[in-house]
């Protein structure tokens, strides 16, 4: 097994055995290629995906995890003799961004990669469209792989699953935000009417207190 240098990568690209598109000369490193921030991303805490235009930025809050598609698509050689690792960049890690290394199977032909990064710092970190995000390092296999990876294009199995999961959580949260304050107010009304009677001052006072508590709970649940 040997790591491929920039010379090897250029040779593979020239012979059309390896595809990196769009290719950027400044992203080619001595032993790899720096993949850039792509057009789509989503926060693990958000309910929808986001599109990123040129010169726009992703704001990653402290302790937040973001899924980012790379700008480049990569298609590995058809003979399955080359695999790769996607590694973090020290320049980003030094700012507090964590990225766990991932593998690229020898038969990968599903275009963009999905990269998960976490902000471990105590401040917002911004990534701009086409910023260098991570480094892909290629190496030759001792033998061509035989087992297929069977991974979905752009890892939509992860990207969309996360989307639907967060969307479901948010729907349940919104339902609770509506139901709990309403249930408290109804309870106060029933208690006041049954205990004090419909025309008592205490009834009005109790219902007013229930309304105030209901509004306060609604406010705190929304935060």
User: What was the pLDDT predicted at 49?
Assistant: 61
User: What was the pLDDT predicted at 20?
Assistant: 95
Is the domain of 77 the same as that of 33? yes
Distance CA 20, CA 218 (A): 51
Is residue 51 in a domain? yes
Is the domain of 16 the same as that of 96? yes
Mean local confidence (pLDDT), 121-127: 91
Is the domain of 82 the same as that of 178? no
Is the domain of 211 the same as that of 117? no
Q: What percent of the chain has pLDDT over 90?
A: 33
Give the predicted TM-score (pTM) of the model: 0.66
User: What was the pLDDT predicted at 9?
Assistant: 96
Angle at 76 between CA 70 and CA 77, to 5 degrees: 160
Cβ burial of 29 (10 Å; 0-12, 13-18, 19+) is middle
Mean local confidence (pLDDT), 125-134: 92
Domain residue limits at 182 = 166-222
User: CB of 132 within 8 A of CB of 25?
Assistant: no
Distance CA 216, CA 116 (A): 37
Is the domain of 97 the same as that of 129? yes
Is the domain of 137 the same as that of 202? no
Over residues 9-18, the pLDDT tens digits come to: 999 999 999 9
Is the domain of 65 the same as that of 19? yes
């Amino acid at each position: 097994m040997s790591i491929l240098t920039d010379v090897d990568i250029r040779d593979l690209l020239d012979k059309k055995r390896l595809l990196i598109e769009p290719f950027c000369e400044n992203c080619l490193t001595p032993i790899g290629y720096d993949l850039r921030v792509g057009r789509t991303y989503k926060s693990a805490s958000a309910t929808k995906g986001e599109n990123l235009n040129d010169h726009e930025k992703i704001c990653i809050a402290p302790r937040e995890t973001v899924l980012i598609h790379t700008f480049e698509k990569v298609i590995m050689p058809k003979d399955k003799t080359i695999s790769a690792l996607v590694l973090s960049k020290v320049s980003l890690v030094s700012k507090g961004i964590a990225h766990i290394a991932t593998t690229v199977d020898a038969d990968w032909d599903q275009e963009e990669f999905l990269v998960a990064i976490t902000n471990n710092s105590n401040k917002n970190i911004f990534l701009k469209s086409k910023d260098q995000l991570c480094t892909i390092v290629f190496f030759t296999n001792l033998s061509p792989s035989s087992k297929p990876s069977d991974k979905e294009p752009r890892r939509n199995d992860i990207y969309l699953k996360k989307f639907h999961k967060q969307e479901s959580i948010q729907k349940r949260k919104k339902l609770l935000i509506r139901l709990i304050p309403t249930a408290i107010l109804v309870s106060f009304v029933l208690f006041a009417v049954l205990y004090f009677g419909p025309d008592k001052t205490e009834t009005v006072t109790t219902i007013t207190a229930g309304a105030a508590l209901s509004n306060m709970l609604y406010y705190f649940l929304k935060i």
